[in-house]
Amino acid sequence: MRISIKIKFSIFLAALLLLTVFILSLLVLRGIKINQVEQYEKYLARQTETANVYFMQTILAESNKIPQIFLNTKGVEFAKQLELLTGQTVVMYDENGKVVSKKTTPSRPDSIGQTLEFALEGKTAYLVEQDMLYYLTPLNVENEQVGVIQFYYSLTEDNEFYNRIRQTFITIGASIFILSFILAYIYFNSFAIGIIKLEQMVDRVRKGHYEITVLRRRDEIGRLSVGIHAMSNQIRSTLKDMEEEQEKLTLAVNKLSLLDQQQKQFIGNVTHEFKTPLTSIKAYLDLLEMYPDDDELLETAQTNIKSETERLYEMVDKVLQLSTLEKYDFEYNPEKIEINQITSSVLQSLSGKMNKFGIKLEAELTEAYVNADKDSIIIILVNLLDNAIKYNKIDGKIFVKNYIHEEQVYIEITDTGIGIPKEAVTRVFEPFYTVDKNRSRQSGGAGLGLSLVKKYIDKQGGSIKLINSDENGTTFRISFPEA
Ligand code: ADP
């Protein structure tokens, strides 16, 4: 059974007070007893003195002055006189212990014999039986014992007084016990409420609820609640930190495994994409070995080996650029570039290729400045425009414009080409992703152009978006902060 702390404290305090009352009552009752004994001993000693003096006077007045004879002959009468004088019931014994006074004295206890023997030996002795005290004292004449006087002394009053006081103490003790228990219970209850609240606070924290209210008290319990509150806050913030750390760690692990996966895929793609032109070159070389005199084969082989080698060269170049961009210490030299100028010169350099495919160009360029690496901007524009040519229709169009909006410089490249299917829109920036392998291969691409473009743009704080693509063509928009 669980006894609450307030009951334990209350019982302890009440028991302590009860013990105090008990010890006090013992001392007081003992004092009363000693005092009572002293009183009646003194009183009976005086009575003894009176009896002895009176006996002496009576003897002297008698003709026969032998005390023993007097006692035996006039003992009854003397005892009566003495009773009148002392106001006590008196029994008289001769020197042999024989009763010489009236026989109708109050009943004597059997054990009085021993006390009588003491008295006969000249000593005063008394016996207490219930409320009655039998006081036996020698009767002396000129220092010679002639008999024994026995006084009866009632202890009823003394005992009643003693019992009354004892009863009072019992009542006081019981009342103090009950009262102190009630008062202590009320007093400790306020502490117990505090302790119960502290227990509830700790319980809440244990269950993971860290919002707790501090107790408005100025004592140790109040301070303890402040301590628990501080501890709970500390635990909460530590847990939060740990959770955040764990979250970061999980993110880092996920990112690392994604990177690892991407890297593996990248290597797989590189191997695959490199193998195709190399296989083609090897096949032509094998054929030339077998038919060294076939002029027609020589011509075809030359053309194909040249184009495959160019493709390989371009791929190696792009892969190298991509891996350079992956490095943290990739260096580029930002400078203030005029977009109109640089776009015009890139368009100029590609005009031959456009003409080859009968593609018409429309440009709407205005003066705008950005802070960027010139070579990177050229690579970006060349790749985007190259795609706009490669994936255009015969006699198609390319429309290039730039503008400034909210401190951003935008360049939009729109073509009237085949468009990018919806399912491919989110993947075109992945390395080695091509919508149509054959078409890309025909046009010399390996799915690296857009991923390279995005990397260059990201590195310089810009952004690229495929804003429109359908069967009528495609529009890419790039933007950089205005310089
Ligand atoms: P590639 O070097 O093969 O052209 P890119 O990374 O430049 O690779 O482009 C990825 C894919 O996106 C291409 O295979 C092509 O199918 C598609 N694509 C890119 N630009 C255009 C465009 N202007 N019009 C249509 N399709 C495009």
pLDDT at position 262 is: 83
Please choose from 391, 412, 448, 453 the residue to mutate so as to test ligand 1's pocket, defined by most ligand atoms within 8 A of CB. Answer: 391
Q: Tell me if residue 471 falls in helix, strand or coil.
A: coil
* 334-481 maps to CATH 2.60.40.10: no
CATH number of 5-160: 3.30.450.20
pLDDT at position 237 is: 94
Rounded distance from Cα 348 to ligand 1 centre (Å): 22
Question: Which pair of tokens denotes residue 370?
Answer: 């950005």
Rounded distance from Cα 372 to ligand 1 centre (Å): 24
Q: Residue with the nearest Cα to atom 13 of ligand 1? A: 434
Q: Residue with the nearest Cα to atom 14 of ligand 1? A: 434
| Helix ranges, 291-400 (H) | 295-326, 339-356, 374-390
Rounded distance from Cα 331 to ligand 1 centre (Å): 27
Please choose from 414, 427, 428 the residue to mutate so as to test ligand 1's pocket, defined by most ligand atoms within 8 A of CB. Answer: 428
pLDDT at position 330 is: 67
Residue 325 makes CB contacts below 8 A (sequence gap 6+) with 452, 455, 456, 459
Query: Can you tell me the distance from the alpha carbon of 64 to that of 61, in angstroms, rounded to the nearest whole number?
Result: 9
Q: Over its length of 483 residues, how does the chain's per-residue pLDDT go in tens digits? A: 677 788 888 999 999 999 999 999 999 999 999 999 999 999 999 999 999 999 988 888 877 778 888 888 888 888 999 999 888 889 999 988 888 887 655 566 777 888 999 999 999 999 998 889 999 999 988 888 999 999 989 999 999 999 999 999 999 999 999 999 999 999 888 878 888 889 999 999 999 998 888 988 888 889 999 999 999 999 999 999 999 999 999 999 999 999 899 889 888 888 888 898 899 999 999 999 999 999 999 999 999 999 999 989 988 988 888 888 877 666 788 999 999 999 999 999 999 999 999 999 999 999 999 999 999 999 999 999 999 999 999 889 999 999 999 999 999 999 999 999 999 999 999 988 888 877 666 666 788 999 999 999 998 899 999 999 999 999 999 999 999
| Residue boundaries of the structural domains of the chain | 5-160, 234-328, 334-481
Query: Can you tell me the distance from the alpha carbon of 473 to that of 420, in angstroms, rounded to the nearest whole number?
Result: 8
pLDDT at position 107 is: 62
Nearest to 149 by CA among 128, 130, 125: 125
Which atom from ligand 1 is nearest to the alpha carbon of 383?
Answer: 7
Nearest to 33 by CA among 168, 174, 150, 166: 166
Fold of 234-328: Helix Hairpins (1.10.287)
Rounded distance from Cα 117 to ligand 1 centre (Å): 142
Q: Residue with the nearest Cα to atom 7 of ligand 1? A: 449
pLDDT at position 441 is: 65
Rounded distance from Cα 429 to ligand 1 centre (Å): 9
Question: Which pair of tokens denotes residue 211?
Answer: 């919002």
Query: Can you tell me the distance from the alpha carbon of 321 to that of 315, in angstroms, rounded to the nearest whole number?
Result: 10
DSSP E strand stretches across 212-263: none
Spatial contact of 117 and 172, defined as CB atoms under 8 Å apart: no
Please choose from 350, 414, 434 the residue to mutate so as to test ligand 1's pocket, defined by most ligand atoms within 8 A of CB. Answer: 434
In order of 116, 242, 244, 255, 323, the CA distances from 249 in angstroms are 107, 10, 8, 10, 26
Rounded distance from Cα 434 to ligand 1 centre (Å): 6
Please choose from 270, 387, 415 the residue to mutate so as to test ligand 1's pocket, defined by most ligand atoms within 8 A of CB. Answer: 387
Beta strand 360-364 with 397-405 is parallel
pLDDT at position 436 is: 80
Q: Residue with the nearest Cα to atom 23 of ligand 1? A: 388
Rounded distance from Cα 385 to ligand 1 centre (Å): 11
Query: In degrees, to the nearest 5, what angle opens at C-alpha 21 toward C-alphas 18 and 23?
Result: 110
Q: Residue with the nearest Cα to atom 21 of ligand 1? A: 387
Ligand 1 site: residues with CB under 6 angstroms? Answer: 387-388, 391, 415, 417-420, 428, 433-436, 440, 445-451, 474
Q: Tell me if residue 70 falls in helix, strand or coil.
A: helix
Rounded distance from Cα 435 to ligand 1 centre (Å): 7
Spatial contact of 134 and 150, defined as CB atoms under 8 Å apart: yes
Q: What is the pTM of this model?
A: 0.54
Query: Can you tell me the distance from the alpha carbon of 420 to that of 384, in angstroms, rounded to the nearest whole number?
Result: 14
